[in-house]
Amino acid sequence: VTYPYVTIDVSSASHPFYTGKQKAVASDGRGAQLKRRFKTLSAK
């Protein structure tokens, strides 16, 4: 059985997860978003 040759752009040598060059995406949860929204209303 012969398989076709396929080149890939991403490998463990170039993927951001393995190289440590990953962007840190930190998003607040729904609870924190609601608290932030209603914090301004309660201050008035």
Cβ–Cβ < 8 Å for 12, 18: yes
The pLDDT, as a whole number, for residue 43 is: 60
Domain ranges of the chain: 1-44
Q: Cα–Cα distance between 15 and 23 in angstroms, integer?
A: 12
Higher pLDDT, 32 or 43: 32
Separation in Å, CA 15 to CA 28, 31, 34: 26, 33, 35
pTM strictly above 0.95: no
The pLDDT, as a whole number, for residue 31 is: 81
Share of the chain above pLDDT 70, in %: 80
Cβ–Cβ < 8 Å for 30, 36: no
